[in-house]
Amino acid sequence: MAKHTVTLIPGDGIGPEITGAMRRIVEATGVDIAWEVVDAGAGVVEQYGTPLPQHVIDAVRRNGVAIKGPITTPVGGGFRSVNVALRKALDLYVNLRPAFSIQGTGARYDDVDIVIVRENTEDLYAGIEFEQGTADTAELIEWVEAKGAGVIRPDSGISLKPISVTASARIVRWAFEYALANDRRKVTAVHKANILKYSDGLFLKVAREIAAEYEGQVEFEDRIVDATCMGLVLRPSDFDVMVLPNLYGDIVSDLAAGLVGGLGMAPGANIGMDCAVFEPVHGSAPKYTGKDMANPTAEILSAALMLDHLGERDAAARILGSVRAVLAAGDSVTYDIKRTNTGSTEGCVGTQAYADAVIAGL
Ligand code: NAI
């Protein structure tokens, strides 16, 4: 029996190509993985009546670890995003988004090494919304006024921002445990507690309580989200591990990706108590489907994160080292990197040739 069994969801668009490249590289490290390949997305709707069949969820749960390619969200198809549905079904409450500088990618900074830990289940993204002009919204507006809580214009739409002790505690604790396990020096909690006293204020209060348990082991600071954004652009090396509620986490993690070369370089993971799903941050880039052009780096770096998670740190480090070397050399790189570095795509290589170069450098 293989040492690890991993669910592989190739996805659609460029997904099958970049996951194919990733799989070859992981296998070339010699790590003993059995892949259980399952499909999700628009392509399986006809067969199963849903883009996220139950057996896909069951496979991730059974194996505990999955890696996926991007999946297209059909516009107006009546289905939610498969990605969001998977996170909900498996209660993947952590969104892990490392952002680190890699030479040769046109990044603005060469000294960024940030790990962003984003809460994935609540906040303004909880999906609790009241549409403008409906009876429910009018009732809610009346109720708020009757409680003396404030006046809301009658032609408003409303989205709720729930922040709980439970979700805040588990995400902050996860960030500290990650910092400890990965020899990180500091955790920064990001919020707007000066204005949003009962939601972000609660997040901050809980963060301080959890931080006290780690005193002497990991440093703690808190920052207001607007000042954080400025600080990240001015001096990103000030930041180490960052923990944020859902909305700020979404925005700040893309900002951090922009500091280190954009979404094509950004790996990610969604992690819960029992399972973890690794995936690049970018989407399915439909216009490049089947052209052997897409940059598989974010998918490959997601695999390195996965190998770390599986305890295969040596294989993860070898992959990262080889990716760094290939990008720094700049010869065998995909069109997007070539264009960033030289202003033209001339001399670029395809997805699989880039993967071959990474394999050769392992
Ligand atoms: P996208 O990330 O697919 O594309 C944005 C731009 O970046 C495009 O110009 C695209 O061609 C380029 N690009 C993206 N990845 C690339 C790569 N690896 N190599 C080279 N170029 C790359 O975002 P978009 O167009 O907003 O979304 C397309 C579809 O993907 C949508 O249906 C969206 O819902 C879905 N999506 C899925 C995600 C997931 O599965 N986790 C995440 C984000 C979007």
Q: Verify whether residue 192 is a known catalytic residue.
A: yes
Structure tokens at 9: 């969801």
What is the chain's length?
A: 362
Walk along the chain (362 residues) in steps of 10 and give the mean pLDDT of each run. Answer: 94 97 98 97 90 96 97 76 89 97 90 97 92 98 97 97 98 98 97 97 98 98 98 97 98 94 90 96 95 97 97 97 97 94 95 98 97
Q: Exactly one of 39, 123, 200, 250 is catalytic; which is it?
A: 250
Predicted pLDDT at 317: 97
Predicted pLDDT at 77: 61
Question: How many A from CA of 285 to the centre of ligand 1?
Answer: 4
Ligand 1 pocket check for 337: Cβ under 6 Å:
no
Predicted pLDDT at 322: 98
Predicted pLDDT at 78: 65
Ligand 1 pocket check for 287: Cβ under 6 Å:
yes
Question: How many A from CA of 293 to the centre of ligand 1?
Answer: 13
Positive or negative: CA dihedral 254, 83, 283, 127: negative
Q: Where are the chain's structural domains?
A: 1-98+264-362
Ligand 1 pocket check for 278: Cβ under 6 Å:
no
Q: What is the value of pTM for the model shown?
A: 0.94
The answer to whether 206 and 169 have CB atoms below 8 angstroms apart is yes
According to CATH, the topology of domain 1-98+264-362 is Isopropylmalate Dehydrogenase (3.40.718)
- Shortest-distance atom of ligand 1 to CA 18: 18
Q: Verify whether residue 250 is a known catalytic residue.
A: yes
Residue ID of nearest Cα to ligand 1 atom 6: 285
- Shortest-distance atom of ligand 1 to CA 81: 34
Predicted pLDDT at 42: 85
Contacts for 76 with CB less than 8 Å, ≥ 6 apart: none
Q: What secondary structure, in 3-state letters, does 208-251 show?
A: HHHHHHCCCCCEEEEEEHHHHHHHHHHCHHHCCEEEECHHHHHH
